[in-house]
Amino acid sequence: MTRFLTLFANERGELFEHPGLGMLGGTLDSWVLPEPGEMIPLPGGSSLVMVPEHYPVGWDWQHDRAVCLESDPFEGKGRVYAVAALLPQGFTRTYLPVGVVPPGGGLLPLLGYAAVGLRGEQVYVAAIQTDRHHKWHPRYYNTEGLEERIYRRLQASPGNRILKHLSHCARHYSCFTAQNIFYERWEGGIPSMPACNAGCIACISEDHAGVAPPQNRLDFVPETEEIVEVGLHHLTRAREAIISFGQGCEGEPSLNYLRLAEAIRVIREATGEGTINLNTNAGFSEGIRHIVDAGLNAMRVTLFSCDADNYNLYHQPKNYGLRDVENSIRYAREHGVYVSLNLLTFPGFTDREEEIKKLRDFIIRNDINMVQLRNLNVDPRQLQSGLPYGGKARGIVGLLKALQQIKGLRVGSYSYPVPGREGNSCFDGGLKVPEPVQHNG
């Protein structure tokens, strides 16, 4: 068995490995010793962080038991913390960090903590690469020239509230799709709707579970002209251009269907360039039909589960259900829209046999083009309290393999220009799930 050592940090944030304790990986309802195929060297663009409130736990091989470090094992005193990695886009977490929270301990912030361990001199993370991370590598963002670009753009369009809002997201949340609007490249976000018809547990723009969301929601509904101005500018200037309605700083865009449909029509009368994409929960089928009829090219539907009860438990839908989501997807597919699932992925749940079976049937039944794996950033305790316990899980690598067996399905981590609308891109028509790295440990 390849051994990864437990990593922990002291109160000064100094990082240590424990020579006698093996790293454990967490799932929704278990702790395991990770297999080499579930671990990769920590990729560039990752950050190592302390896990708030969590005492580190490791595996004592000598006595075959889990051990919780309640104080610094080297100094004999002082608080110590579990350590985890935050991954760049393109990597799917296979395990959560393992730790013990003292009674009354608060919930974790909505971040994608992934378990880490040490082997030799190299820090490894419990993850697998599911897409190229070139375009989303942090080194291409928050660059020196960004501020100047934002300033010039706001000067050129002083009345456009969307640009003003996106300048806040670009500066204060380091939002990559907001920054791409100012960099005039790749996927740019255009938020337009404060309201939502769902109450997702881990919503990142509204507090639904007692954890402060990392972003504020926009507080206005832009005019069609404001949407057209930003959209047209991006599609006609950006490399591999995508404009995406449905951002982390808004509610459900399809509720704004009249303005979005009008904006899409006006944009398409002016240019055939690029891809117009909608990130949505697809619950409001009437709105989706209007937007599809207006000329939508791609749609990404966020899903926690293809089991109606588990769907309702997580998304807390208001006046719609999973059946409405399916109807919206079918309508879009019948009208040539490229449809992806934004699969909220949580180790120990999404990879359960029953969940995989229902997901597979859903994909085939609705002719889904792509599955994007999204690490679900939520404290496991918030899911444990509602979800049914157990059920055999295959592991995230097993989930990926199951998806790979579905003919014609693309698996990745983010949206691409729709085939035929790439301009000078490198679209290769379907990412093969990479074989886990063989560790000659």
Binding site for ligand SF4 (CB under 6 A): 196, 198-200, 203, 205-206, 251-252, 281
Q: Two tokens at 192?
A: 């337009």
What's the Cα-to-Cα distance from 32 to each of 166, 317, 376, 395, rounded to whole Å? 42, 34, 19, 11
In the bound complex, what is the minimum distance in angstroms from residue 374's beta carbon to ligand SF4? 11
In the bound complex, what is the minimum distance in angstroms from residue 262's beta carbon to ligand SF4? 22
Cβ proximity to ligand SF4: between 43 and 199 the closer is 199
In the bound complex, what is the minimum distance in angstroms from residue 33's beta carbon to ligand SF4? 34
Report helix angle 322-334 to 308-315, nearest 10: 100
Which neighbouring-strand residues pair with 84?
A: 49, 115
Convert 81-100 to b/e letters by CB count within 10 Å (16 or more is b).
Answer: bbbbbbbbbbbbbbbbbbbe
In the bound complex, what is the minimum distance in angstroms from residue 222's beta carbon to ligand SF4? 17
Q: What is the DSSP letter of 105?
A: P
- Cα separation, 274 vs 297, in Å, equals 9
In the bound complex, what is the minimum distance in angstroms from residue 172's beta carbon to ligand SF4? 19
In the bound complex, what is the minimum distance in angstroms from residue 400's beta carbon to ligand SF4? 24
Which neighbouring-strand residues pair with 80?
A: 10
Give the number of other CB atoms < 10 A from CB of residue 17.
17
- Cα separation, 420 vs 274, in Å, equals 9
In the bound complex, what is the minimum distance in angstroms from residue 311's beta carbon to ligand SF4? 12
Cβ proximity to ligand SF4: between 5 and 196 the closer is 196
Residue whose structure tokens are 């501020």: 147
Query: Quick one: the chain helix, strand, coil %, rounded to 5?
Result: 30, 25, 50
Determine which helix (DSSP H) or strand (DSSP E) holds 19, and give its type and residue range: strand 15-22
In the bound complex, what is the minimum distance in angstroms from residue 200's beta carbon to ligand SF4? 3
- Cα separation, 257 vs 129, in Å, equals 36
H helices of 335-386, in order, are 353-365, 380-384
In the bound complex, what is the minimum distance in angstroms from residue 285's beta carbon to ligand SF4? 15
Report helix angle 146-156 to 161-172, nearest 10: 170
Cβ proximity to ligand SF4: between 260 and 400 the closer is 260
In the bound complex, what is the minimum distance in angstroms from residue 206's beta carbon to ligand SF4? 6
In the bound complex, what is the minimum distance in angstroms from residue 126's beta carbon to ligand SF4? 25
Q: What is the DSSP letter of 254?
A: G
Structural contact between residues 417 and 242, judged by C-beta atoms closer than 8 angstroms = yes
Cβ proximity to ligand SF4: between 42 and 282 the closer is 282
Cβ proximity to ligand SF4: between 183 and 314 the closer is 314
Three-class SS of residue 76? Answer: coil
Q: Two tokens at 96?
A: 């959560």
Parallel/antiparallel/unpaired status of strands 80-86 and 113-119: antiparallel
- Cα separation, 372 vs 394, in Å, equals 19
The secondary structure of 1-17 as a DSSP string is: ----EEEEEETT--EEE
Q: Two tokens at 256?
A: 């704004």
